C-alpha cells in the first residue's frame, strides 16, 4: 500500500451529531477535522458514525471520485458488506469490532434472555393471556 504524502492529516466526520463533533473539536482541535462533504476531497481519513450515514455517502458515490483518503473506519463489526471496496487498493479499511464488542455481547444476551424468558409473548399478547411461564434455564447450555 502506498501512503499519500500529505503535510497534515484531515479526518472527515460522516454522520456525526453536532455535540459529538464539538466534543472532538474541543479535545483534538477543529483544524484536524472536515465536516462538509464539499471538502471531502481534502480528507485523508473518513470515520462514519453509523451505517445509514455511510450508505448515504456511498449512494453519492464518493469513493469513485478523486480523493486523498488513505483510511476509513467503517460502521459495524462485520466485513461481509464491505467486500465491494476491495478494488480501492490505496485505502485501508477498518471496522468497529473492538469498539462495539461489549454492546454486541450485551445485545446478544438481551435477545437470548428475551427468548428464554418468553418476553416476546408477553409483549405481543400482554399479561392477561394464559401461557406457560416456565423459563428455559441457561445452565449447562451452549449458544
The mean pLDDT value for 94-115 works out to 79
pLDDT given for residue 32 in this prediction: 93
Global pTM value: 0.63
Q: What percent of the chain has pLDDT over 90?
A: 20
Cell of 92: 485501508
Amino acid at each position: 500500500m502506498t501512503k499519500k504524502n500529505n503535510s497534515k492529516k484531515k479526518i472527515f466526520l460522516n454522520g456525526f451529531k453536532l455535540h459529538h463533533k464539538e466534543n472532538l473539536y474541543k479535545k483534538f482541535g477543529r483544524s484536524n477535522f472536515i465536516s462538509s462533504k464539499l471538502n471531502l476531497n481534502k480528507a485523508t481519513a473518513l470515520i462514519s458514525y453509523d451505517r445509514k450515514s455511510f450508505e448515504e455517502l456511498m449512494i453519492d458515490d464518493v469513493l469513485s471520485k478523486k480523493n486523498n483518503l488513505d483510511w476509513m473506519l467503517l460502521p459495524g463489526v462485520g466485513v461481509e458488506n464491505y467486500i465491494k471496496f476491495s478494488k480501492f487498493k490505496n485505502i485501508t479499511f477498518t471496522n468497529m469490532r473492538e469498539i462495539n464488542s461489549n454492546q454486541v455481547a450485551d445485545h446478544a444476551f438481551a435477545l437470548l434472555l428475551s427468548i428464554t424468558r418468553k418476553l416476546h409473548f408477553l409483549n405481543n399478547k400482554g399479561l392477561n393471556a394464559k401461557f406457560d411461564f416456565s423459563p428455559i434455564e441457561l445452565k449447562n447450555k451452549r449458544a
